[in-house]
Structures are given as structure tokens and as C-alpha cells.
């Protein structure tokens, strides 16, 4: 089996090579990290609408809230990695959890902060090429990463950091694209078509098409479930059964990872 930590573009996946503050961070080369930041800066204005009652992400709130409620005690500490406009973070805060939320997109974070009227969530801006999270080891009971891991070039680096900041037996809930879903096949075809010069030229004329083609290029981790579980294992995380019901046949796949160990008893 190929090294599951190796990235798609000949990246050896060596955490040691990346180093804590090396020139190549979790998101890989500077070009990709900056593209991701620019794409989500541009999407920030319209992102909250996805969480409106009929919005495409409304179900995500219930899914993650259920997962956290089931596995994290009231008052537990949660990190929302790649929090976007903060919808999951605010829902977790409202459910009585202590929430830290971080993102590489300043525009997403600006809107997240503006929406946090109570000021209870700790919002943290990340350098796009981060390779080490600015949090202490074993600081969190849970990490959530909803539709984030597909945008990083080196998931092993990100997952190792998630394992580091989780306390023993802490859990990570994440969603990634399911490459076996027909929606993803269509995206694969669209991405292939986008390589034709005429389609690329059309994209430059129509901003919405351009944004879609950029998304297809940078949402690059289209991996099967076994690959994610193998990388999580290399990062020091076990794959455990999801305790949350997933709605129907979804183009997103949810994973629950867990840091091994026994939780410390509170004195």
C-alpha cells in the first residue's frame, strides 16, 4: 500500500521535514495555502446563508451538535478547526461547551467574531501555512473540523496537531468529501473539463464559474475512507464508530477519531 501520508504531488509527508515553523506548512506550498485563504475570504459574505433554515449546511449544525453532546460533558473544551463564519462554534457555545475556534481566512473570522454577540468564543487567526497550532498539548476534549481537511495538502500534519491538542481519550469529529458519491464523480469530470483552455477562459469571464473551478482545484484531498483512517492512525488517532446518524446518502463522510488513553480524573 502506498504511504497514506504522502500528498498527491510527490509530498513525502514527513512531519519532521516540515518542522514546527518550516517554510512549508500544513497547507503545503504557499501558493495553495494562499489560494485557499483567498477563496474563503471571497466566500465569507455568503457563507452564513448556507445555515439559514433551508440552507445546504443547516443539517450540519444538528449533526455536530449531536456528536458533541453525546461525547463531551457540559463545560468541556472544544476546538473548531477551520471554523468559517463560526456557525458550529456558536452552536457549541450555546450548548454549554467552552469553545475556541480558528481559521486561516481573515474575512471568515471577521464575520464569525461579529456574529458572536456574547463574546464567549475564543476566535483565533491562523497563519495560512501553519504547521503547529497555537494551543497547549492536551488542551481540548474535542476537535471538530467540518469540511476542512480536503483543503490541506498534508493532512498528516494537521491530524498530528489535532492529536497533540486533544486530551487522552478526546475525540475528533470531521467531515470530508466521499469520492464514491455521484456528486464527486461529477466534480471530477468538471475538474477534468476545466483543464481545457476554453473552459478556463470562460471561467475568467464569469466569476461564479471561476470560483467553482478554483474550488475544484484546491479541494484536493478526495480520498477513500481507508486512506483517512490510515493517516489518522499515523497521526496517533484511532478510528471509532460514529455515534451520530448521518442524513441519507451524503456526498460528505463523517469520521470520529479518538486519541488513545484514559482521561485524567478531575480532583
Residues that bind ligand SAM (CB under 6 A): 26-27, 36, 40, 57, 60, 81-84, 87-88, 103-105, 108, 126, 146-148, 151-152
- Say how many C-beta atoms besides its own lie within 10 A of residue 49's C-beta: 12
Q: Which is nearer to ligand SAM, 5 or 81 (CB)?
A: 81
Query: CB neighbours of 139 closer than 8 A, spacing ≥ 6?
Result: 77, 79, 165, 167
Instruction: Tell the smallest beta-carbon distance from residue 23 to ligand SAM (Å).
Output: 15
Q: Which is nearer to ligand SAM, 152 or 237 (CB)?
A: 152
Ranked by CB distance to ligand SAM, the top (closest) residue is: 84
Q: Characterize the bridge pairing of strands 252-258 and 166-177.
A: antiparallel
Helices (H), the chain: 15-18, 30-43, 58-71, 87-94, 106-114, 155-165, 182-193, 197-205, 207-218, 225-234
Instruction: Tell the smallest beta-carbon distance from residue 84 to ligand SAM (Å).
Output: 3
Helices 30-43 and 207-218: angle between axes, nearest 10 degrees: 140
Q: Which is nearer to ligand SAM, 200 or 210 (CB)?
A: 210
Instruction: Tell the smallest beta-carbon distance from residue 212 to ligand SAM (Å).
Output: 13
Please answer whether residues 4 and 227 qualify as being in contact, where contact means their C-beta atoms are separated by less than 8 angstroms.
yes
Instruction: Tell the smallest beta-carbon distance from residue 107 to ligand SAM (Å).
Output: 9
Q: Which is nearer to ligand SAM, 15 or 126 (CB)?
A: 126
Amino acid at each position: 500500500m502506498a504511504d497514506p501520508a504522502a500528498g498527491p504531488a510527490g509530498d513525502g509527508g514527513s512531519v519532521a521535514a516540515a518542522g514546527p515553523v518550516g517554510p512549508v506548512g500544513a497547507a503545503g506550498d504557499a501558493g495553495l495555502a494562499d489560494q485557499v485563504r483567498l477563496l474563503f475570504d471571497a466566500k465569507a459574505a455568503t457563507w452564513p446563508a448556507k445555515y439559514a433554515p433551508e440552507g445546504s449546511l443547516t443539517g450540519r449544525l444538528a449533526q455536530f451538535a449531536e456528536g458533541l453532546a453525546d461525547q463531551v460533558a457540559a463545560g468541556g473544551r472544544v476546538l473548531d478547526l477551520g471554523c468559517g463564519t463560526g456557525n458550529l462554534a456558536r452552536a457549541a457555545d450555546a450548548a454549554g461547551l467552552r469553545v475556541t475556534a480558528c481559521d486561516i481566512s481573515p474575512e471568515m473570522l471577521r464575520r464569525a467574531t461579529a456574529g458572536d454577540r456574547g463574546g464567549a468564543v475564543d476566535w483565533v487567526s491562523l497563519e495560512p501555512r501553519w504547521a503547529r497550532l497555537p494551543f497547549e498539548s492536551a488542551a481540548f476534549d474535542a476537535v471538530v473540523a467540518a469540511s476542512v481537511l480536503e483543503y490541506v495538502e498534508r493532512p498528516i500534519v494537521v491530524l498530528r496537531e489535532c492529536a497533540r491538542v486533544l486530551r487522552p481519550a478526546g475525540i475528533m469529529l470531521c467531515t470530508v468529501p466521499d469520492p464514491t458519491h455521484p456528486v464527486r464523480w461529477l466534480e471530477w469530470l468538471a475538474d477534468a473539463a476545466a483543464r481545457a483552455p476554453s473552459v478556463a477562459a470562460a471561467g475568467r469571464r464569469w466569476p461564479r464559474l471561476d470560483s467553482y473551478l478554483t474550488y475544484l482545484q484546491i479541494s484536493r484531498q478526495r480520498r477513500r475512507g481507508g486512506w483517512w483512517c490510515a493517516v489518522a492512525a499515523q497521526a496517533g488517532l484511532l478510528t471509532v464508530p460514529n455515534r451520530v446518524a448521518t442524513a441519507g446518502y451524503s456526498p460528505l463522510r463523517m469520521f470520529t477519531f479518538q486519541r488513545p488513553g484514559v482521561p485524567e480524573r478531575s480532583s
